[in-house]
Amino acid sequence: MASRHYIGIDIGTTGTKTVLLERSAGIIAQANFESPIFSDGPAFAEADADAWVDNAVNGIRAVLTESGVDPATVVAVATTGMVPAVLCLDADMKPVRRPILQNDARATVEIGELASLIDGADMLTRTGSALTQQSVAPTLMWLRRHEPELWSRTVHVVGSYDYVLTALGAPVHVEENWALESGLYTLDGSRYDTAITAAGLDPGLLSTPVRPGTVVGAVSARVAAETGLDPATALVVGGADHVLSAYAAGVDSPGKWLVKLGGAGDILTACDAPVVDERLYLDAHPRPGVWLPNGCMATSGSLIRWFQTVVGGVTLAELDAEAASREPASLLCLPYFLGEKSPIHDPELRGAFLGLELSHTRADLYRAVLEAIAFGFRHNAEAMRAAGIELDARASVTNGGSKSMLWKQIHADVLNVELIPVRDHPGASLGAAILAGVGAGDLTVDDSARFLHTDPPIVPDPARVAAYDQAYRLWRQAGDALTGVSHALARRRTDRAATSKEG
């Protein structure tokens, strides 16, 4: 049987990963290109849409060059990425400004205004999403208020990976999980008119959601010339990065769950019915009838990269080696450097280190950062169990952070579960490539297991489990105690920024 290949492209916070998949051999080539991020105001988080498209094109070229395969054997391309990032497109389907990322927390005033306007409406039950900092309507209200000229040019509102697929040749569309997490659509995919009307939005800005694995177009002549792909190459809707990462990691039945150590921190589990809870997010699994309740922390790997920069660019391997010998939880870190998403949903929280003494070193601070993120995962896991969600005594772990043995061990100890590392897991890009194969008619959504490989489990250490139990309780108390201080500091900085802008 002739080889047929599929490309998956993952639009990440700091980089774009591309994989080339063959239906029998599995992944045969990968490429990664960095993307800039911007934070030009308090709690702002933005990206460069042109860089996303350039990275996608360069990634396609790179995997074709590395593998040496005939581009004509590539039959489909699918995309995945951050959700729900917000792109405003003009009539020519070009961005009118930088994309606003899902961990952006600028629209706090608008969240309050919209909450008042829809008070009494059953948004959570209807959409599966509470009104939070990642809800799209408040962000669009902010844009209309603060950037009216750019807003006046907006004709379409889409997400990150859907935009990139459009730039490759597809028509404007939104994938169903972007729709679900946006708060602008109901669980059945129809527009949620209550929020749309209250926010003063034109419903025509929003496209009808499309399911993962659906062919929506073909590569444009321009992209074909730039990449070497055949113009008949199918463009297939992928999905949200955390959803496809969990899908490709084998989270496909109740009780299975994933700790995803990416730029943000995601925790996902599978259920056979939608679980609606204000502390959590809800997504649809690529397999029909399966749902993915999940939590997402605003920072994870991004906080580690911040710390790495602050201490002068020391390698993560060196920091790991230093921190491995330090006492567990000798310090506490609150990881709310971009506010917090689930399960707290408070964009005005701020980060902190507690318990510092002159004897502490950067190794103690670094270990506290790793532990803080693990505590955040535990907080989310507790919220899931409280919502009646079953979590097995084993969990999978993926993404960049899963390469660190120290960080994996800390998570196993804090969560008190065995962690199963997914070996050489490229994350959501693999899920997207599988769905490209589904769209091409060569694979089914049940074929993800054939590409899954795992390493031996990381087993919790009973002594550290006990130490972390005590530290976690203190960590929760510290977060509660400093909430008022965080809010005051956040508002003071916002007020100063507003005064400076007016001046």
pLDDT for 400 beyond 70: no
Q: What is the pLDDT of residue 425?
A: 83
Please give the single-letter amino acid code of residue 342: S
Segment 45-74 shows an average pLDDT of 97
Which residues, 6+ apart, have CB-to-CB distance to 434 below 8 Å?
6, 8, 21, 247, 248, 443, 445, 447, 448, 451
**Spatial distance between the Cα atoms of 77 and 72, rounded to a whole number of angstroms:** 12
**Residue 132 Ramachandran class (φ > 0 left, ψ -120 to 50 alpha, else beta):** beta
Coil, helix or strand for 87? strand
pLDDT tens for 1-28 read: 578 999 999 998 889 999 999 989 999 9
* DSSP symbol at 70: -
Coil, helix or strand for 503? coil
Beta bridge partners of 208: none
Query: How many CB atoms lie under 10 A from the CB of residue 207?
Result: 17
pLDDT for 503 beyond 60: no
pLDDT for 382 beyond 60: yes
pLDDT tens for 46-59 read: 999 999 999 999 99
pLDDT for 502 beyond 70: no
Which residues, 6+ apart, have CB-to-CB distance to 188 below 8 Å?
none
pLDDT tens for 423-445 read: 888 889 999 999 999 999 999 99
What residue segments make up the domains of the chain, in order of their start?
5-242, 299-421+461-493
Percent of the chain with pLDDT over 90: 85
Angle between helices 316-324 and 405-415 (to 10 degrees): 50
Q: What is the CATH class of 299-421+461-493?
A: alpha beta
Please give the single-letter amino acid code of residue 496: R
pLDDT tens for 455-483 read: 999 999 999 999 999 999 999 999 999 99
**Spatial distance between the Cα atoms of 400 and 308, rounded to a whole number of angstroms:** 15
Domains 5-242 and 299-421+461-493 share a fold: yes
pLDDT tens for 227-239 read: 999 999 999 999 9
Average pLDDT, the chain: 94
pLDDT for 257 beyond 90: yes
pLDDT tens for 101-137 read: 988 889 999 999 999 999 878 899 999 988 988 899 9
pLDDT tens for 349-378 read: 999 999 999 999 999 999 999 999 999 999
Q: What is the pLDDT of residue 496?
A: 75
Q: What is the pLDDT of residue 148?
A: 98
Half-sphere exposure of 471 (CA within 13 A, CB side): 27
Q: Which CATH fold topology does 5-242 show?
A: Nucleotidyltransferase; domain 5 (3.30.420)
**Spatial distance between the Cα atoms of 152 and 90, rounded to a whole number of angstroms:** 9
**Spatial distance between the Cα atoms of 274 and 322, rounded to a whole number of angstroms:** 44
**Spatial distance between the Cα atoms of 381 and 267, rounded to a whole number of angstroms:** 8
Please give the single-letter amino acid code of residue 472: Y
**Spatial distance between the Cα atoms of 250 and 236, rounded to a whole number of angstroms:** 21
The H-assigned helical ranges of 288-361 are 301-310, 316-324
**Spatial distance between the Cα atoms of 95 and 83, rounded to a whole number of angstroms:** 17
User: Strand locations in 59-105, DSSP E?
Assistant: 74-81, 87-89
Query: How many CB atoms lie under 10 A from the CB of residue 452?
Result: 15
Taking CA atoms, 501 is separated from 40, 59, 302, 495, 497, in Å, by 12, 39, 27, 10, 6
